[in-house]
Amino acid sequence: MTVATPEAPPASLPPRKPRKIFLVVGLVVAVVLGIGLFTSIGAPKKSGMPQPGDPVPSFTAARVNGSGTVRVGTDGRTSRRPTVLLFFGHWCTICSTELPSLAATVRSQDSAGGPLSRIRVVGVDSEDPLSVAQSFVAGSRVTFPVAYDPNVAIMSGKFYFEGDPYAVFVDGDGTIHKIVASAITPAAFRADERSLIPSGS
């Protein structure tokens, strides 16, 4: 007689545990979101770029169109004169179109006299060989002083700008009034210049 062997009960299945990959992914997402939230609070500047209300960064550089040097913002000042800084380069296609008309605007203002003629305009030519910068400035009929910035020590090192053109409008007390990070028309240029003139002047 054959004796039946009792059948073993089915092995109980262990309780399901969450997969480790989901835990790791969730943790990483939470950390990234947390870092993004806390580093963005109270940080109006991008990579150190100056903002309106900040002192204009100081620099001294050799002059492209003429001898001597160009100085801006020494001790956070601009010689008590409102100043416009124009950043450009021959390699920048927008600048090649924009600069001749802005240079004509400045020449017209200087010859007409009046409040706009008292605003100092300074150019910064970046990333051009000196001969190219000189040819570009002369060909655009620029009469205002232009600082030479071949290694972007001013454009990127001082202002943290990425590329050209930029226009920086600076009040007479040396603080930045406005930054235009694109092409600017002569009409907009004049309007932004007028905003630098104290009322009653």
**Residue 191 to residue 177: CA distance in whole angstroms:** 13
Residue type, 155: M
**Residue 15 to residue 13: CA distance in whole angstroms:** 6
Tokens of 147: 């600082």
Q: Which domains does the chain have, with CATH numbers?
A: 59-194 (3.40.30.10)
The crossing angle, in degrees rounded to 10, of helices 93-112 and 186-194 is: 50
- Cis check for the bond before 165: say yes or no (omega within 30 of 0): yes
Please, what is the Cα angle at 93 between 163 and 133, to 5 degrees?
Answer: 75
pLDDT in tens, the chain (201 residues): 444 333 333 444 455 555 566 545 555 445 444 444 443 334 444 568 999 999 999 999 999 999 999 999 865 444 578 999 999 999 999 999 999 999 999 999 999 988 999 999 999 999 999 999 999 999 999 999 999 999 999 999 999 999 899 999 999 999 999 999 989 999 999 999 999 998 755
| 3-class secondary structure, 26 | helix
